[in-house]
C-alpha cells in the first residue's frame, strides 16, 4: 500500500513508534532516529526478561524499522537529521514543545524545506504545553483512573498504555488522510494529536453521561453504568470464569434459560436490571457455580448471548488467526500487510542510511558514528 514512501521517525516510547510500525506494516520504509542511548524503552525489561535481550516493550512498537543513531545536540548529526527529513514523505516526532524549533525540526521549518512532507507530531498535552505527559499521567488527568477500579478502593490505572495506543491510531488516521490530500494537491501538511485529546475523546458514553447528568462516573469494577448484566463475571464449577455482555432483554432471557434461572418480573427491563443489579448478579452467580464453563459457554453461544472466557494474554495471542511471532520476525499477516523484520539493534543502519539518503561524505559519516555511539 505504502511501498516507496520514506518515513523518518523522531519519536520514542509507544505512541509515535506505534505509528511508525503501522506505516511499516503498510509497506513504507521506516527509519527510526534514536539518541546514542537509544529509545528509552530499550531498557524497559520485565523482571523475567534477560536484560541483554531486546526489551519486549521496545519490541511492541518497533518491528520493520531501520535504526540510525544521531545525537541531535551535535551540529553535524542535526544536519543529517534535516537531510533525512528533506528526503522523507512522512516525519513522526514527539519532541517537547520548543525543542523541535531549536533544532530546526519544527513543522513550519520542515514544510518550508520540503513542501510535500507530512509532519505528524504527538505530545502529552498539545503544542502549547511544556508538561511531560506519560500515559499513566494522562489516565489520571483524563478521568479514566477515577472511574477504574472498585468503589471501596483507590483508583487504578489501566494495565496497558491505552492513551498512547489511542493517540497512535488518531495520528495514523491523520497521516493517511494527509496522504490522500497530497495526491490531490501535491502539498504536505502538519497533523498532530495529544495524548490528552485522544483520551478525552475516548470517554464516549461516560463523557456524554457526565455532561447529561452533571454526575461523574463512579468506580464499579467490571459493571456497566447503563446496562446489566454487562461486564458481569461468573465463576463456573471448574474454576473458569465467563464474562457476560448482555445488551438487550432478549439476551438476558437467554442467559436465564441457559442457567435455568426464572426471569423475575422486575428484571424484564434494562432499567429494572440496573436498579436490581446486585441481587440479579448474585442469583446468576449462584446458578453458574453449579455449571461447567464448557457447558455454560455452549448454552450461551447457542442462544446468541455475547459472552467470553477470561483468558490471559498468552492464550489470546496463541489464538490469534492473524499474527504469529517468531525469532526472525512476524508472520501470517492479513492480506495487504507485509512481513516485518525484527526490531533493529541500536544504530544498526546508521552508516547505510546516511550514505544512501544524505549527501554526507564518508569522513563525515564516520565522525557522526564515532561521536554518536554510547561509549563516545
Whether residue 106 is found in the same domain as residue 235: no
pLDDT tens by residue, 316-337: 877 776 555 554 555 545 545 5
Burial of 121 (0-12, 13-18, 19+ CB in 10 A): buried
Burial of 46 (0-12, 13-18, 19+ CB in 10 A): exposed
Residue 295 domain-assigned (yes or no): yes
- CA 136 from chain centre, in angstroms, equals 13
Whether residue 127 is found in the same domain as residue 258: no
The pLDDT > 90 percentage for the chain reads 85
Q: Which CA distances in Å does 137 have to 157, 164, 193? A: 9, 11, 16
Q: Whole-angstrom Cα distance, residue 104 to residue 190?
A: 15
Whether residue 243 is found in the same domain as residue 183: no
Q: Which residues are catalytic?
A: 164
End-to-end Cα, the chain, rounded Å: 40
pLDDT tens by residue, 53-71: 999 999 999 999 999 999 9
Whether residue 350 is found in the same domain as residue 300: no
> pLDDT grade, residue 376 (50/70/90)?
very low
Whether residue 33 is found in the same domain as residue 125: yes
Q: Whole-angstrom Cα distance, residue 25 to residue 277?
A: 44
Of 251-265, 296-310, 329-343, 344-358, give the lowest mean pLDDT range: 329-343
Mean pLDDT of the chain: 92
Q: What is the CATH number of the domain that holds 281?
A: 3.30.1540.10
Res 14 pLDDT > 50: yes
If you average pLDDT over residues 111-139, what whole number do you get? 93
Residue 193 belongs to domain spanning: 6-201+320-371
Q: Are 174 and 193 in contact (CB under 8 A)?
A: yes
Q: Which helix (H) or strand (E) holds 330?
A: strand 329-331
Domain termination residue (choose one: 280, 310, 340)? 310
> pLDDT grade, residue 338 (50/70/90)?
low
Q: Are 188 and 178 in contact (CB under 8 A)?
A: yes
The pLDDT > 70 percentage for the chain reads 94
- CA 144 from chain centre, in angstroms, equals 16
Q: What is the CATH number of the domain that holds 65?
A: 3.40.50.10540
Residues 6+ apart with CB under 8 A from 360: 76, 79, 80, 83, 354, 368
Whether residue 283 is found in the same domain as residue 164: no
If you average pLDDT over residues 188-215, what whole number do you get? 96
State residue 372's pLDDT score: 72
State residue 348's pLDDT score: 94
Q: Are 81 and 33 in contact (CB under 8 A)?
A: yes
Whether residue 130 is found in the same domain as residue 238: no
**What predicted TM-score, i.e. pTM, was given to this entire model?**
0.88
Under DSSP, the state recorded for 150 is -
Q: Whole-angstrom Cα distance, residue 170 to residue 57?
A: 21
Residue 213 domain-assigned (yes or no): no
State residue 130's pLDDT score: 82
Cell of 197: 485529546
Whether residue 327 is found in the same domain as residue 278: no
Q: How many domains does the chain have?
A: 2
Domain termination residue (choose one: 262, 287, 310)? 310
Q: Are 14 and 168 in contact (CB under 8 A)?
A: yes
Residue 325 domain-assigned (yes or no): yes
State residue 305's pLDDT score: 94
Residue 165 domain-assigned (yes or no): yes
Whether residue 324 is found in the same domain as residue 273: no
Whether residue 54 is found in the same domain as residue 119: yes
Whether residue 139 is found in the same domain as residue 257: no
State residue 254's pLDDT score: 94
Q: Whole-angstrom Cα distance, residue 296 to residue 276?
A: 23
Domain termination residue (choose one: 310, 331, 357)? 310
Whether residue 185 is found in the same domain as residue 135: yes
Res 212 pLDDT > 50: yes
Amino acid at each position: 500500500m505504502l511501498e516507496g514512501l520514506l518515513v523518518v521517525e523522531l519519536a520514542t516510547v509507544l505512541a509515535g513508534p506505534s505509528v511508525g510500525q503501522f506505516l511499516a506494516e503498510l509497506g513504507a520504509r521506516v527509519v527510526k532516529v534514536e539518541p546514542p542511548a537509544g529509545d528509552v524503552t530499550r531498557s524497559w525489561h520485565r523482571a523475567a526478561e534477560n536484560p541483554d535481550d531486546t526489551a519486549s516493550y521496545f519490541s511492541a512498537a518497533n518491528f520493520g524499522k531501520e535504526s540510525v543513531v544521531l545525537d541531535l545536540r551535535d551540529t553535524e548529526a542535526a544536519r543529517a537529521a534535516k537531510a533525512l527529513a528533506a528526503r522523507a514523505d512522512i516525519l513522526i516526532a514527539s519532541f517537547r514543545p520548543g525543542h523541535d524549533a531549536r533544532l530546526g525540526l519544527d513543522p513550519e521549518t520542515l514544510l518550508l524545506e520540503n513542501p510535500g512532507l507530512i509532519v505528524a507530531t504527538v505530545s502529552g498535552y498539545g503544542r502549547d504545553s511544556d508538561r511531560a505527559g506519560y500515559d499513566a499521567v494522562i489516565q489520571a488527568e483524563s478521568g479514566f483512573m477515577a472511574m477504574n477500579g472498585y468503589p471501596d478502593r483507590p483508583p487504578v490505572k489501566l494495565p496497558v498504555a491505552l492513551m498512547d495506543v489511542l493517540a497512535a491510531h488518531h495520528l495514523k488516521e491523520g497521516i493517511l488522510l494527509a496522504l490522500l490530500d497530497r495526491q490531490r494537491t501535491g502539498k504536505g501538511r502538519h497533523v498532530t494529536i495529544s495524548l490528552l485529546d485522544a483520551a478525552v475523546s475516548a470517554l464516549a458514553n461516560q463523557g456524554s453521561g457526565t455532561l447529561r447528568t452533571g454526575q461523574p462516573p463512579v468506580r464499579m469494577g467490571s459493571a456497566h453504568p447503563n446496562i446489566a448484566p454487562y461486564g458481569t463475571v461468573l465463576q463456573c464449577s471448574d474454576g473458569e470464569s465467563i464474562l457476560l455482555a448482555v445488551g438487550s432483554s432478549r439476551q438476558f432471557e437467554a442467559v436465564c434459560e441457559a442457567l435455568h434461572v426464572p426471569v423475575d418480573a422486575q428484571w424484564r427491563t434494562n432499567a429494572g436490571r440496573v436498579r436490581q443489579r446486585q441481587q440479579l448478579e448474585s442469583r446468576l452467580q449462584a446458578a453458574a457455580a453449579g455449571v461447567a464453563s464448557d457447558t455454560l459457554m455452549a448454552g450461551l453461544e447457542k442462544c446468541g448471548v455475547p459472552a467470553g472466557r477470561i483468558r490471559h494474554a498468552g492464550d489470546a495471542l496463541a489464538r490469534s488467526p492473524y499474527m504469529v511471532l517468531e525469532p526472525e520476525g512476524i508472520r501470517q499477516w492479513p492480506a495487504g500487510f507485509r512481513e516485518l523484520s525484527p526490531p533493529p539493534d541500536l544504530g544498526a543502519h546508521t552508516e547505510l542510511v546516511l550514505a544512501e539518503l544524505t549527501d554526507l561524505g564518508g569522513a563525515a559519516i564516520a565522525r557522526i558514528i564515532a561521536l554518536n555511539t554510547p561509549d563516545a
